């Protein structure tokens, strides 16, 4: 068999699709081209009537023999990232994540209802699951589960946008730790408090622009394309971080931050309402 990563990947997906319980398979980030070793992971999302038995999942991996390396079955069970198997395809970390359709539908419904307005443990953003599913590349969809879910997520709900924007803008009112850090000129404490604040500002910006917040990756690229944002938003954010790294400039950083938040809340959010 050709040892090309794409060929091995296609065979693996074909094998997984033959499992009786499997209804849909998708990959985040797209499959063209697949990453090479060191460039990133291959994340395969597998949606099932019920999670296939250990032995069935192991057989899928074993069928490919030496084409896969360092395979481990069920190394994580349940949680935000499903029941996970791991393998290497030409040195590329490849995760097979199994979810039930019922739990996925319940989770998405709760997220869209605003039940999870903020990140959870280990920087898991529930709203990021919506971002992933909206843009997932569908590889197999026996009963149209994934495609129908993608269609459901095409339009960001107005009420969710309002709820999340209000939640995160309200959280920005808590400046106690930032003020303490500025008074003490404590750079590390300042950056700890600033990171929390930036997280809320970013999530508010995404909600106002009706874009599902995916994670903290590539946020400046997203902001560049937003229509609703403070003037020179990216430049000001970078200056806030840069100035905050020096004790002598912490006050300048904080002043710039307060002005940025004020512009977002006073001007943009007023229009948004």
Structure tokens at 88: 């290497």
Is the model's pLDDT at 270 over the cut of 70?
A: no
Structure tokens at 103: 């739990």
Is the model's pLDDT at 271 over the cut of 80?
A: no
User: Distance between CA 54 and CA 272 in Å, rounded?
Assistant: 50
Is the model's pLDDT at 239 over the cut of 60?
A: yes
Beta bridge partners of 99: 47
Tens of pLDDT, residue by residue over 12-47, are 999 999 999 999 999 987 667 888 888 889 999 999
Is the model's pLDDT at 105 over the cut of 80?
A: yes
The mean pLDDT of 228-242, rounded to a whole number, is: 96
**pLDDT given at position 1:** 41
**pLDDT given at position 272:** 59
Return the HEC string of the chain: CCCCHHHHHHHHHHHHHCCCCEEEEEECCCCCCCCCCCCCCEEEEEEECCCCCHHHHHHHHHHCHHHCEEEEEEEECCCCCCEEEEEEECCEEEEEEEEEHHHHHHHHHHHHCCCCCCCCHHHCCHHHHHHHHHHCEEEEECCCHHHHHHHHCCCCCHHHHHHHHHHHHHHCCCCHHHHHHHHHCCHHHHHHHHHHHHHHHHHHHHHHCCCCCCCCCCHHHHHHHCCCCCCCHHHHHHHHHHHCCCHHHHHHHHHHHHHHHHHHHHHHHHHHC
CA angle 196, 200, 203 (to 5 degrees): 135
Find out whether 108 and 133 touch, Cβ atoms under 8 Å. yes
The mean pLDDT of 66-95, rounded to a whole number, is: 91
The mean pLDDT of 58-77, rounded to a whole number, is: 92
Average pLDDT over the chain, rounded to whole?
92
Find out whether 50 and 100 touch, Cβ atoms under 8 Å. yes
**pLDDT given at position 37:** 86
Tens of pLDDT, residue by residue over 107-135, are 999 999 999 999 888 789 999 999 999 99
**pLDDT given at position 55:** 94
Sign of the Cα torsion 1, 3, 97, 101 reads negative
pLDDT band for 267, please (50, 70, 90 cuts).
low
User: Distance between CA 57 and CA 82 in Å, rounded?
Assistant: 14
Q: Is pTM, for the whole model, over 0.85?
A: yes
């Amino acid at each position: 068999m050709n040892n090309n990563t794409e060929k091995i990947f296609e065979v693996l997906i074909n094998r997984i699709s033959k499992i009786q319980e499997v209804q849909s398979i998708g990959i985040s980030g797209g499959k063209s081209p697949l990453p090479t070793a060191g460039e990133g992971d291959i994340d395969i999302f597998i949606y099932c009537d019920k999670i296939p038995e250990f032995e069935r999942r192991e057989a899928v991996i074993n069928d490919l023999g030496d084409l896969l390396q360092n395979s481990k079955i069920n190394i994580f069970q349940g949680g935000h990232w499903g029941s996970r198997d791991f393998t290497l395809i030409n040195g590329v970390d490849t995760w097979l994540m199994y979810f039930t359709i019922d739990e996925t539908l319940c989770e998405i419904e709760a997220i869209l209802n605003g039940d999870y307005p903020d990140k959870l443990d280990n920087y898991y953003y529930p709203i990021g699951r919506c971002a992933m599913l909206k843009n997932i590349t569908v590889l197999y969809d026996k009963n149209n589960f994934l495609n129908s879910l993608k269609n459901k997520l095409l339009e960001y709900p107005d009420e969710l946008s309002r709820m999340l924007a209000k939640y995160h803008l309200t959280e920005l009112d808590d400046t106690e730790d930032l003020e303490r850090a500025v008074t003490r000129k404590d750079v590390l404490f300042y950056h700890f408090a600033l990171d929390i604040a930036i997280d809320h500002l970013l999530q508010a910006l995404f909600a106002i622009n009706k874009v599902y917040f995916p994670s903290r990756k590539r946020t400046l690229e997203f902001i560049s394309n937003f229509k609703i944002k403070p003037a020179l938003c990216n430049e000001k954010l970078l200056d806030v971080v840069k100035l905050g790294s020096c004790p002598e400039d912490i006050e300048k950083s904080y002043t710039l931050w307060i002005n940025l938040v004020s512009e977002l809340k006073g001007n943009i959010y007023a229009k948004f309402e």
